[in-house]
Every structure is written in C-alpha cells, then in structure tokens.
Amino acid sequence: MILTDRNYHPMPARLPVLFLAALICAFPATLPAAKQQPNIIYILLDDAGYGDLSCYGQEKFQTPNIDRLATEGMKFTNHYSGSTVCAPTRSVIMSGLHTGHTPSRGNREIKPVGQFPIPAATFTIAEALKKAGYATGAFGKWGLGNPGSEGDPVHQGFDRFFGYNCQRNAHTYYPTWLFDNLQKIELDGETYAHDLIMDRAVEWIDNHHKGPFFCFLPVTIPHAAMHVPEKYAAPFRRKFPEFENKVGRYGNNKPFARNPAAQFAGMMTALDHGIGRVLKSLEEHGIEENTIVLLSSDNGPHKEGGHMPDYFNSNGGLRGHKRDLYEGGIRCPLLVRWPGKVKAGSTSDHISAHWDLFPTFCELAGTETPRDLDGISFLPALLGRKQKQHEYLYWEFFEGGGKRAVRIGKWKAVQNQLTRKGQDAPVEIYDLMTDRAEKNNLATRKPELIARARDIFKQAHTPSQIWKFKWEQ
C-alpha cells in the first residue's frame, strides 16, 4: 500500500461552472480566503512522554515557551504517535499510513551508516505540500534513508535538510558530522548539535517568511544520551542534589551524564528555549496569524542513559514506556497554535494519530488529499466544527516479542508475545474512559471486543517483504 504519484489524483481541469462556483463559495468555510495557504511548522520531540511538558502536568521543571502553544491554542488529550520507536513513527508521518501499511515499520540500520530507506515511490507529506507551492525544510533527525539513498529527505520532497540523517549518529549531541542536504558537514565534536540545528531552522524560516513554507522540526531532545550544555544543567544540579553521584551512560556516547536528572531537566529547558526562538522569529516577521504551529512527540519516554521516567512522571501516569503499545508508549502530546483560527486555551478530546497529519496539512494548504491514506483531517476539530471520527486506530511492532494494539472508541486492545505464541496470543481489553492507566484487563468479560480486535489485526495489516511476524516468515 505504498503511495506513488499514480495514487495522487488532482481535480480534473474541466469542471462544471456551477460546481466551481459552489467550490469557491465553500472554500472560505474551511480557510479564510484572505489567509490562504498558511505556513506550517511541525515540531516533533524525540522520546518525550505524555507528562514531560508542564502544560501536561510536569512539575519538576517548566516549559514556558511550549506552554504558550497550549495557552494560545489547543491541547489534545487523545493524540497518538505513529509507533513506539523512532523510524516507523517518522514513516507514518511522511506517508499518512499507519504501521500496518507504512513502508518503514521498525528501526533497521543500513551499514555503514543510516537506516532502511523508504522507497522512492513513497508519496510524502513534503511532496504534497511542495506540489501545492510550499517551500519545504526539515531540520533535526531523519532516520528514513541512508545518505544519498532514495529515502534521503532531499529525494522525498524537502528543498532543504540539515541535521542527523542517521539515527545512530543522533545518539550523541556532540557529533563529528551532520548533513546539509547531501553534503557531509564535519564538526569538532564539541558543538552542541541541537543549538546548531535550531540556528539553521530559524535562519531558514527567516529566509522564507513570505511563505508559504512547511518547516519540519524533528528535534533530538530528549532522546538519550543525556547531553546538555552546563548552563542548562547547573540550576537543576542544585535542585536535584541527591542524584549528583549517579552517572547515566548510553553506549559509548560521551560525555556520560553526571546527575542525569539535572541533565534531563536541562535538556528540556534547552528545547523550550529553542522553540521560543522559533516563535520569536514568527513575531518579528509579523506572520504569527498566518502560521500554524504544531508540537508532538514520536513515542513515549525512554528509560536509557540514566533517565528516570518514573521520577519525572514522564508518561503522565499512563502504563508503559517507549517500545510498549500500552498508552505510555504511544499516547503523546499534541499542541496546536494558530492565532485567530484555533481558540486560545482550548482542549480537544478528539482521538487522533500521526497519520492524520498528512490529510490535515493538505486541507490547510488547499490541495487535494491523496487517496487511500489511513489518516483523517482534524482541521474541523481545530476550528471547532463537526469532526469525522476514526473507526479504529491500529499499531504493530516487531520488537520485544512482537506486539499489536488497536483503539476502538473508548476501548483498547493489546496483544503481546506474538513471536512466542503467534496470532493466538491473548488479547487484553481496557476501558480507557475509566481506566486510562490500563490496570484492569476486561478480556474475560468482553469476548465480542476480542473478536473485533482480532478481525482488525487481520484487515489492518498488509504483508511486507522487510517487516514480518513469525507466521509470515
């Protein structure tokens, strides 16, 4: 189910006059004619949990610039990541297809450097917006194709890419190289890459402020290793002195994190500072009202490099972490600010996921949405209008014994141990309306939901030559 240009169906050139008139009259009901094609900034955090932002309940540090997106926009409470690890989530975002259909369904390295490339035939969200007249830039971590491959961002619709092409290189914040489009940029190993990446992103926004532009910001914070300049960590060393003798290690990615609690809080502070720079750039150019800013995370919180997600309540009281398909592994923040369009200080309980971004951005841009996407535009929810709902949300994951999950309204089904027990592995059932922490398995009381979940597991999964469950091998 890989989308190609053959799957892209623009409107026919010749339409009946009455239909065109109706279309012109109807368009302002979606987007005001005076502000066509808003700039789009999508910020994707790396391993930030549902509870890692102060506007979502974080108490041990504050994220004031990120919180502005909530106070000046909308906070979603039922938003989900594309997967529970990095690469497949990015594939889901780019393709608009959930993990049962998307080209990359797991983390897989390509030697000597890079990850499994999404195919050239993949029609990405960047290509759709570029067709609609947008300048397209990506700054941060890619992870969807080794440098120069068909999956490289410059071959997938981006005019400009700066950052980590390779996820493994992104395991250090003091790399010896990054990529600027297809050019390898040598670094001294002492430059904090996050700051450099934000420099390039803000510079690009400055240069394209007349718009329309699409800026994709898949930042690396707070993925391990726990690296941050001392000016950000120092205040938290005083706040968390009990961890000063604790050292967090993430492979051989030095420096090792002395007092990882202070390092983590400092990283989130540095992240917040960088996002403040982005917002300031919009203010300086007077384009706030014609720029929609969205912020989310690629999966739940990690437990690596010395990070203590339970201490910080990083999963917001949800069950599980990164690599789990319980809520703590896949429910993530979503904040959306669009002054004058999205009601300030509003909250939405609309059930949505990363594969909804593609159709949402197409609708924002006023361009045709490709057929056969798994996503549904949530622009109506943003504008306070009647919103179409998903029949279900689906995930599959091939690590950790093999896992699948589906959300059907208020119900959640989780199936683990697929490698050992196959398709007949037990299915757990949870009522997320009354049990968001997934403590009470209702499987014995809900055989009809188990049957429904098993049907979805079959229909939502298309075979892949690369990503296979045990029974497909």
In a 10 Å sphere around its CB, with 0-12 CB exposed, 13-18 middle and 19+ buried, how is residue 202 labelled?
middle
Residue type, 444: T
CA dist 410 and 431 (Å) reads: 6
Q: Are 3 and 156 spatial neighbours (Cβ–Cβ below 8 Å)?
A: no
| 173 DSSP assignment | S
| DSSP assignment string, 40-104 | EEEEEESS--TTSSGGGT--SS--HHHHHHHHTSEEESSEE-S-SSHHHHHHHHHHS--TTTSS-
In 3-state terms, what secondary structure has residue 261?
helix
Rounded to 5 degrees, φ, ψ at 40 are -125, 125
* pLDDT tens track, the chain, 473 positions: 333 332 333 333 333 333 333 333 343 444 443 348 999 999 999 999 999 999 999 999 999 999 999 999 999 999 999 999 999 999 999 999 999 999 999 999 998 999 999 999 999 999 999 999 999 999 999 999 999 999 999 999 999 999 999 999 999 999 999 999 999 999 999 999 999 999 999 999 999 999 999 999 999 999 999 999 999 999 999 999 999 999 999 999 999 999 999 999 999 999 999 999 999 999 999 999 999 999 999 999 999 999 999 999 999 999 999 999 999 999 999 999 999 999 999 999 999 999 999 999 999 999 999 999 999 999 999 999 999 999 999 999 999 999 999 999 999 999 999 999 999 999 999 999 999 999 999 999 999 999 999 999 999 999 999 999 999 99
Measured between its terminal Cα atoms, the distance across the chain in Å is 20
The three-class DSSP label of residue 427 is: strand
The CATH architecture to which 36-382 belongs is: 3-Layer(aba) Sandwich (3.40)
Class for the domain spanning 393-472: alpha beta
DSSP H/E element including 359? helix 357-365
Show me where the domains of the chain are located: 36-382, 393-472
pLDDT tens for each residue of 321-352: 999 999 999 999 999 999 999 999 999 999 99
Query: How many CA atoms lie less than 13 Å away from 330 in the CB half-sphere?
Result: 33
Q: How many CB atoms lie within 10 A of CB 25?
A: 9
